[in-house]
Amino acid sequence: MRRGAVVVSVLCLGAAWLLGRGFDPRSWLQPRSRLLSAAELGRYRGAPGDPGLYLALLGRVFDVQPGRKHYGPGGAYSGLAGVTAPFATGRDATRAFATGDFTPSGLVDDVSALSPAEMLTIQSWLSFYSTNYACVGKLVGRFYDENGAPTEALRQAEAAIEEGLKFKAESDQWKERFPPCNSEWSSAKGSRFWCSRQSGGVNRDWTGVPRKLYRPGLRGSHCVCVRTNGPPWGQQGSAQHSDRGDLDNPHLQEYDGCHPRAEQCILST
């Protein structure tokens, strides 16, 4: 499980990098007309005597032979390719791209229980493979029928991806408005939250003060930095405002024991 946790971290970071580099997760190369059964895919395991090395993702089959050092037997992502792990024989292991679960129960193509954000991670990798490897066909099964036509499962997966894209756009807007705080914790001093002009990875010309943000539709709160002067977000240019920035936003809450205008809060354990 430790290896799986490391790999999923790499996958998620890679997906974030791909999005940041401008990959459009909604664009992918259309699979060619070749249709493969699970048994046929199982022949492309990259072992000596095998005809090649294939990987399936959302039913699309890619020739990953050029990346053999990564996907071949013993490679970091070998569990994702054709049959390079005994329990992955002839399977589309799409789910593992998002979860990092390389157990037999995790190397499956059922993505119905994944969140839109997890589906967006999968689609980022699909965009990557479409750009860097040849798509050689479709895997007949969950996502394509025996005629190569998309199934309802694929349509549902694509709908979840679209929902993920909308959620990401909304999250980016929230982050720009309320950048995350810096934070640290120690058993001796407790928790410390503070703001800077680069906190949360958002460069800006103001520092802000820490607040709890309760974002609609999400559970719990997280620490964000809030602008303390000028007009509220979305009202730039307005001549009539209280010059309190976003301090009066109803989704914010002050930290107990912290001065309302302090740029850092220390909460004892």
Average pLDDT of each block of 10 consecutive residues along the chain (269 residues)? 49 55 45 82 87 91 83 58 41 88 87 94 93 95 96 97 94 96 91 96 96 93 96 81 93 94 88
Q: What confidence score (pLDDT) does residue 100 get?
A: 87
Query: What is the distance in angstroms between the CA of the first residue and the CA of the last residue of the chain?
Result: 32
Q: What confidence score (pLDDT) does residue 66 get?
A: 87
What SS3 state is found at 98? Answer: helix
Q: What confidence score (pLDDT) does residue 26 get?
A: 42
Q: Which residues contact 94 (CB under 8 A, 6 or more apart)?
A: 56, 57, 58, 108, 109, 111, 122
**Under a CB-based contact definition with an 8 Å cutoff, are residues 143 and 154 in contact?**
yes
Between CA 36 and CA 54 the distance in angstroms is: 11
DSSP state, residue 126: H
Tell me how many helices (H) and strands (E) the chain has. 6, 10
pTM above 0.75? no
